[in-house]
Amino acid sequence: MIAGIIFILLVSAGVVMFTINVKKVSRNINLGKDLDRKDQAQVRWKTMARVALGQSKMVSRPAAAILHIFVYVGFVIINIEVIDMFVDGIFGTHRFLSFTGGLYSFLIASFEILGFLVTFGCAAFLIRRNILRLKRFTSNDLNGWPRTDANAILISEILIMSAFFVMNAADASLFKMGSHHYTVSFANPVSQFIMPLFAGMNEGSLIFIERFSWWFHIVGIIGFLNYLPYSKHFHILLAFPNVYYSNLNKPGQFTNLESVSNEVKAMLDPSFTPPPADPDKPMRFGAKDVKDLSWKQLLDAYTCTECGRCTSSCPANITGKLLSPRKIMMSTRDRLTEVGKNIDLNGEFKDDGKALLGNYITAEELWACTSCNACVQECPVNIDPLSIITDMRRFLVMEESAAPAALNGMFSNIENNGAPWQFGQADRLNWSKE
Amino acid sequence: MEVLNVPTMAEYAAKGETPEILFWVGCAGSFDDRAKKVTRALVKILNHANVKFAVLGTEESCTGDPAKRAGNEFLFQMQAMSNIAVLNGYEVKKIVTGCPHCFNTLKNEYPSLGGNYEVMHHTQLLQDLLNTGRIKIEGGSFKGKKITFHDPCYLGRGNDVYEAPREVMLNLEAELEEMKRSKAKGLCCGAGGAQMFKEAEKGNKEINVERVEEALALNPDVIAVGCPFCNTMITDGVKHFNKEQTVKVLDVAELIAQAKGL
């Protein structure tokens, strides 16, 4: 009875806290500019099914893809067990779902096998990060908190799974012993190997171990859920909407800024009247801070799980330049989180004298990009770092006139003679006579 | 050098005729010495296949691509809107470009500004001419030679065109070998995003050197390209390794023209 109340309070607190944090993230994302991504619903659902649910872009790196599928499938399916634990937690039943008989035994056996694969996957991921030290996990982008975050996630998952195995092993031992409350028999292909450790233990100790593991598992899950909004691991939820709202145009196509179109039309055609400007939204060309980006670009930032496939395929990064597309996404999220905290504190955003451009992302990074789209191609959840780079270049060029001198030369050539080099337009057909 | 038959849109309009297709030469194709050879090769193929084409000549101007990638949206749209006025004035329907950057910009970024055309990259047109039998190649000078193709970013990843250049080259009866980083995983030559027009940022290697190193590991006779900027970057990379005597850098159009002895 008391356990039931504690359980309900704990779960409620967990759900309330999670909801509050998700709302904050959602508010932060909505600080971004409008962008219509509601068209072509059918294509979007299909893309989501293929890329997010079906993990289609993961397979280009097979080792990571297989390990990830273990953890992903395991995580999704084992969560059915949470139903069992919730009903037991509230009503004090024991393994509520066991009324399904043979199916229950099959389910638990499946969970154990999947749980083993999850544990194996997480252990392999830890080894890749900390012992094999794969380049994309050791680069400077991840110094400090991001590296800790990654290890914390993997260790938590291993601990939560271990609790599940220990719980089952203790439970099965108690069943074998004929303990009063433990009346459900189930197949336990993995946890049976833990059972010998419990040989000779008395009933009380076993019940303690079983209860401790049960609470550890469920508290672990609730804790983990609440950790997500602070962590790169948020991708397990955001991957789905993020892929749904993917850019469906060809990656080579950059957006045409409408604000610019109006100005250019007015210049070329004196009779053109541009639509009246919205006084609430001061016009700015390109992006200086997170609020100048679109909500999708901000959703991208929260979705990024820092796997670094983008950076490891970036020609600029490969050749030692400062640019790292992963860092572009991480900086965007860091700045957005900072802006969010500022709003929490002051009720509305109070100028802190900082901006994404300058304080988080430098011009040198932006000017190293070849706009080759490798980062966009590589991202397993359709994040688009290139669009952020482009928008920030636009700010540098159009608001600050801060392009590298050589590019300014190229601009004036195009303006004056219609080519990026100093050749006259009148000579454009000379090649046919040479 | 022989004078090529290169009719202009203005000449066609004066006769009251319309060509089958507009050949958008591009700035590199018009002014860059290396790229001009590709332009001439393509024109020879078009003439050989009796394609009724025309160029804009002195009415052509930069599509605005390098300005757009560099962030100068004003300049891009100025270029785009004045080009669209010219193209629409001639009621252009179909365009072939000699450059993936022009191709991408005309195809994807002009429509919402009022310019709607069917746009092809020259490797797609070559594929079409070969498929319909308007050009035929039997063997030729590249038979048995090893060729590796460097995917242009704005043709491949940018627009999902991977097969056209490869299918065209199949006609050469050459040995086509892929680099490890090819197609969707292709490595940029280093020129995109307006890098062509500036010094590279500080790093420990040039991107074209990284790319050419990968290509040379295959010991190719030819590194094939489909973009004037890639051509420059890859050629420079080959020179960096002092391999210009043994490894040729050729555009797909040049391969076809040379195989046909044009």
Q: Model ipTM?
A: 0.96
- Name residue B118's beta-bridge partners: B94
- pLDDT reported for residue A434: 78
Backbone angles phi, psi at B19, to 5 degrees: -75, 165
Classify each residue of A285-305 as buried b or exposed e, where b means 16 or more C-beta atoms within 10 Å of its C-beta: bbbbbbbbbbbbbbbbbbbbb
Is the separation of the CB atoms in B234 and B150 below 8 Å?
yes
CA proximity to A114, closest of A154, A161, A148, A151:
A161
What DSSP state is assigned to residue B120?
E
- pLDDT reported for residue A268: 83
The last residue of a domain, from among B98, B128, B158: B128
Are B144 and B226 in the same domain?
yes
User: Could you report how far apart the first and last alpha carbons of chain B are, in Å?
Assistant: 13
Are B194 and B91 in the same domain?
no
- pLDDT reported for residue A242: 98
Give the span between the Cα atoms of B202 and B187, in whole angstroms.
Answer: 19
Half-sphere exposure of A310 (CA within 13 A, CB side): 27
Residue B1 lies inside a defined structural domain of this protein: no
Q: Are strands B53-54 and B94-97 parallel, antiparallel or unpaired?
A: unpaired
Residue B182 lies inside a defined structural domain of this protein: yes
Q: Are strands B248-251 and B222-225 parallel, antiparallel or unpaired?
A: parallel
CA dihedral A320, A326, A332, A336 (to 10 degrees): -140
* Residue where the block lists tokens 């043709």: B155
Query: For residue A385, what are the contacts with CB-CB under 8 A and spacing of at least 6?
Result: A300, A310, A325, A326, A328, A329, A375, A376, A379
Are B19 and B122 in the same domain?
yes
Classify each residue of A237-265 as buried b or exposed e, where b means 16 or more C-beta atoms within 10 Å of its C-beta: ebbbebbbbbbeebbbbbbbbeebbbbbb
Q: Show which of residues 34-63 on chain A sit within 8 Å of chain B, judged by CB atoms.
A: 60
Chain-chain contact of A414 with B62 (C-beta, under 8 angstroms): yes
Task: Give A-chain residues touching B77 at CB under 8 angstroms.
Answer: 256-257, 260-261, 264
Give the span between the Cα atoms of B229 and B232, in whole angstroms.
Answer: 5
Q: Measure CB to CB from residue A369 to each of B81, B158, B193 and give the nearest one.
A: B193
Give the span between the Cα atoms of A397 and A312, in whole angstroms.
Answer: 28
Are B184 and B228 in the same domain?
yes
Chain-chain contact of A315 with B210 (C-beta, under 8 angstroms): yes
Whether the predicted pLDDT of B237 surpasses 70: yes
Is B34 near chain A, with CB under 8 Å? no
Are B142 and B123 in the same domain?
no
Chain-chain contact of B74 with A370 (C-beta, under 8 angstroms): no
Q: Which two tokens stand for residue A88?
A: 């037991």
- pLDDT reported for residue B60: 97
Q: Which two tokens stand for residue B7?
A: 């009719």
Residue B4 lies inside a defined structural domain of this protein: no
Task: Give B-chain residues touching A376 at CB under 8 angstroms.
Answer: 157
Which amino acid, residue A368? A
- pLDDT reported for residue A279: 67
Backbone angles phi, psi at B150, to 5 degrees: -95, 115
Give the span between the Cα atoms of A89 and A7, in whole angstroms.
Answer: 6
Residue B231 lies inside a defined structural domain of this protein: yes
Are B148 and B81 in the same domain?
no
Is A272 near chain B, with CB under 8 Å? no
Are B38 and B106 in the same domain?
yes
Residue B207 lies inside a defined structural domain of this protein: yes
Residue B165 lies inside a defined structural domain of this protein: yes
Task: Give B-chain residues touching A262 at CB under 8 angstroms.
Answer: none
The last residue of a domain, from among B99, B128, B157: B128
Chain-chain contact of A395 with B191 (C-beta, under 8 angstroms): no
- pLDDT reported for residue A433: 87
Whether the predicted pLDDT of B6 surpasses 80: yes
Chain-chain contact of B184 with A377 (C-beta, under 8 angstroms): yes
Is B14 near chain A, with CB under 8 Å? no
Give the span between the Cα atoms of A425 and B58, in whole angstroms.
Answer: 6
Whether the predicted pLDDT of B117 surpasses 90: yes
* Residue where the block lists tokens 């700015």: A284
- The gap from C-alpha B146 to its chain's centroid, in whole angstroms, comes to 21
Could you read off the pLDDT of A159-215 as tens digits, one per residue?
999 999 999 999 999 999 999 899 999 999 999 999 999 998 999 999 999 999 999
CATH no. for residue B35? 3.40.50.1860
Classify each residue of A371-380 as buried b or exposed e, where b means 16 or more C-beta atoms within 10 Å of its C-beta: bbbbbbbbbb
Is A345 near chain B, with CB under 8 Å? no
Give the span between the Cα atoms of A117 and A119, in whole angstroms.
Answer: 5
Give the span between the Cα atoms of A315 and B189, in whole angstroms.
Answer: 8
CA proximity to A386, closest of A332, A321, A319:
A332
- pLDDT reported for residue A267: 86
Backbone angles phi, psi at A337, to 5 degrees: -60, -40
User: Could you report how far apart the first and last alpha carbons of chain A are, in Å?
Assistant: 95
Give the span between the Cα atoms of A218 and A220, in whole angstroms.
Answer: 5
Is B198 near chain A, with CB under 8 Å? yes
CA dihedral A113, A116, A120, A123 (to 10 degrees): 160
- The gap from C-alpha A295 to its chain's centroid, in whole angstroms, comes to 15
Is the separation of the CB atoms in A303 and A239 below 8 Å?
yes
Give the span between the Cα atoms of A248 and A241, in whole angstroms.
Answer: 14
Number of domains chain B is built from? 2
Are B211 and B251 in the same domain?
yes
Are B190 and B151 in the same domain?
yes
Backbone angles phi, psi at A359, to 5 degrees: -80, -30
What DSSP state is assigned to residue A267?
H
Average pLDDT over residues B61-87: 97
Which amino acid, residue A41? A
- This prediction has a pTM of 0.95
Residue B2 lies inside a defined structural domain of this protein: no
How far off is chain B from A409, nearest CA to CA, in Å? 9
How far off is chain A from B31, nearest CA to CA, in Å? 7
Q: Domain span at residue B142?
A: 137-259
Q: Which residue of A has its CA nearest to B8?
A: A429
Are B124 and B197 in the same domain?
no
Query: For residue B234, what are the contacts with CB-CB under 8 A and spacing of at least 6?
Result: B150, B189, B208, B211, B212, B215, B223, B225, B249
Task: Give B-chain residues touching A139 at CB under 8 angstroms.
Answer: none
Give the span between the Cα atoms of B48 and A135, in whole angstroms.
Answer: 52
Is A393 near chain B, with CB under 8 Å? yes
How far are the Cα atoms of A254, A297, A381, A384 from residue A43, in angstroms, in the given order?
20, 20, 16, 18
Chain-chain contact of A394 with B58 (C-beta, under 8 angstroms): no
Is B237 near chain A, with CB under 8 Å? no
Average pLDDT over residues B215-222: 97
Higher pLDDT: A1 or B173? It is: B173
- pLDDT reported for residue A385: 98
Give the span between the Cα atoms of A322 and A370, in whole angstroms.
Answer: 13
**DSSP string covering A103-133, please?**
HHHHHHHHHHHHHHHHHHHHHHHHHHHHTS-
Q: Measure CB to CB from residue A250 to each of B79, B81, B108 and give the nearest one.
A: B108
Give the span between the Cα atoms of B260 and B262, in whole angstroms.
Answer: 5
* Residue where the block lists tokens 């800790």: A148
Are B27 and B60 in the same domain?
yes
Q: Which residues of chain A have pLDDT under 50?
A: none
Residue B21 lies inside a defined structural domain of this protein: yes
Chain-chain contact of B190 with A315 (C-beta, under 8 angstroms): yes
Are B101 and B182 in the same domain?
no
Average pLDDT over residues B217-235: 98
Give the span between the Cα atoms of B106 and B65, in whole angstroms.
Answer: 9
Task: Give B-chain residues touching A254 at CB under 8 angstroms.
Answer: 68-69, 109
The last residue of a domain, from among B94, B128, B162: B128
Backbone angles phi, psi at A137, to 5 degrees: -105, -5
